[in-house]
Amino acid sequence: MTNLDASSSEVVFHPKPSLPPPPNTVGAIGWARKNLFSSPLNAFLTILSLYVIWVVVSNAFEWAVVNAVWEANSRRECLDKVGLSGACWAGVSHWMKNFIYGRYPDEEVWRVNLGFGTLILWMLPFWLPRVTSKIAIGASAILISPFLLGYLFAGGEKGLFLQVMISIAITSFIFSWAHTLLSMATGKSLWAAIVQASGFSAKPEATHKYPVFAACLVVFAVAFAWQSSWDISGQSTNLWGGLFVTLVISGIGIAVSLPAGIVLALGRRSKMPVIRVFCVSFIELFRSVPLITVLFMAVTMVPLFLPEAINPVKIVQAIIAVCIFSSAYMAETVRGGLQAIPKGQYEAAQALGLSYWKMMTLIVMPQALKLMIPNIVGSFIGLLKDTTLVSIVGLYDLLLMLKAVSQNPQWNGIHTEPLVFGAALYFVLCFVMSKYSQHLERTLGAGQAGR
């Protein structure tokens, strides 16, 4: 559209502003017309889907909330109030402690809480800003903390080896948090602060380790003297159960499977025939066998071949089986990530004169791990859910505790409510892991997040 000015000898173009789009093509109405009612068939499917969703959600809400019984002393009392038209959450509430801790004694539950709280505090610096040496902190939490946590959970007599490892764990925890606070406050590492405080900063760098070692020995001696006075009663692993056992098995499995999978993947790509054949045999053997078979072998067959003096408890056998099985799968995930790295990266690292281990740790593996984040987290989620299989070999994990409610005379016949609660709990755990995986992808793989 143009306007012609008759008084002017030249034609001037004056564009008019664009008209707004029709109201029914923008906003929520426009989105619904485009995505839900774009054709008669789509409109029919949309209406049918909404009807199905309404029926399911309304009935579920009525059963789970409106008609639910929240306070009762038995299943019979729930049935007398609402029959089968409402959920009996009173049974779930009554058994909540068993769902979380199994048959662990009530007066000793603080040990489980203290153990998991210590582990969370140990791992917390991993997510704090300005903290350096995060890999060392994470490695100490994975490799050393199990000795401290295992003693808190199991208790009993401490041998000299366990006392030393507990003291090392306490020392590592103290140094991790001292380093974290120092890094956040001043930006300096604990190593540099000890060297400066001891007056060794002006001396040759090779001597800087001596004051640090001395500080470690002092803290270790204090920790050893402190923990030697601990007297914690022993608790049989048969009393462990519920979410506690699920987190212990899956947590150890996750902590072990990733480094073991990396080692197996590197071994499978090794040029040394013995190492390559061993790794290939290990991976193919345990990938070809169902997890339940590995669990039965670990619990029933392996003790037959061990000396009588070596008789590990059932939960340790199950943990070993889960670690072996998940490591085999993780090895193939890592191998896939290594094969995704272009050959030029290997050649560039070799051209710089880097050794094999420096090439893998500084150049190849960081890129490969970044690419493997979705698959690694997917394996971790699968491992968390696969731990329910340990109930078949007699361990009272979360699933078996959920089923045990219905065998209690007081709550006989209550099946659905505990399983709904367990499904919601597993969903929350898996959803948190999935969202954190996406956060890592955005943080570490910024250039590839959109692929």
> In this predicted model, what pLDDT tens digit does every residue of 69-98 receive, in sequence order?
999 888 899 998 888 888 999 989 999 999
Quickly tell me which residue has 């405080």 as its tokens. 197
Q: Looking at residues 169-196, what average pLDDT do you find?
A: 90
The number of beta carbons lying within 10 Å of the beta carbon of residue 445 is 17
Residue 1: pLDDT over 50: no
For 264-303, the pLDDT digits (tens) are 999 998 889 999 999 999 999 998 899 889 988 888 887 7
Q: Are 241 and 104 in contact (CB under 8 A)?
A: yes
Q: Looking at residues 324-340, what average pLDDT do you find?
A: 91
Quickly tell me which residue has 């409510």 as its tokens. 417
Q: Looking at residues 403-422, what average pLDDT do you find?
A: 89
Between 22-36, 171-185, 193-207, 437-451, the lowest mean confidence (pLDDT) is in 437-451
Express as a percent the part of the chain with pLDDT over 90.
Answer: 40
Question: Between 443 and 51, whose confidence is greater?
Answer: 51
Specify the pLDDT at position 449.
46
Specify the pLDDT at position 2.
45
Q: Looking at residues 385-407, what average pLDDT do you find?
A: 87
Residue 451: pLDDT over 50: no
Cα-to-chain-centroid distance, residue 34: 40
Report the C-alpha dihedral over residues 332, 337, 338, 343, rounded to 10 degrees.
140
* Backbone torsions φ then ψ of 445, nearest 5 degrees: -115, 55
Give the chain's mean pLDDT.
88
Q: Looking at residues 154-160, what average pLDDT do you find?
A: 87
Strand partners, 69: 88
pLDDT category at 114 given cuts 50, 70, 90 is: very high
Residue 7: pLDDT over 60: no
Residue 55: pLDDT over 90: yes
Q: Are 334 and 360 in contact (CB under 8 A)?
A: no
Quickly tell me which residue has 């909540």 as its tokens. 96
Between 7-16, 135-144, 208-217, 242-251, the lowest mean confidence (pLDDT) is in 7-16
Longest dimension (CA), the chain: 114
Q: Looking at residues 307-330, what average pLDDT do you find?
A: 86
DSSP 117-150: HHHHHHHGGGGSTT---HHHHHHHHHHTHHHHHH
pLDDT category at 426 given cuts 50, 70, 90 is: very high
Residue 42: pLDDT over 50: yes
Quickly tell me which residue has 């070999």 as its tokens. 393
pLDDT category at 217 given cuts 50, 70, 90 is: very high
Q: Looking at residues 47-67, what average pLDDT do you find?
A: 94
- 350 conformational bin, left if phi > 0, alpha if psi -120 to 50, beta if neither: alpha
* Backbone torsions φ then ψ of 69, nearest 5 degrees: -105, 120
Integer angstrom CA distances of residue 47 from 6, 31, 40: 59, 16, 11
Residue 8: pLDDT over 60: no
Residue 327: pLDDT over 90: yes
Specify the pLDDT at position 231.
85
Q: Looking at residues 317-327, what average pLDDT do you find?
A: 91
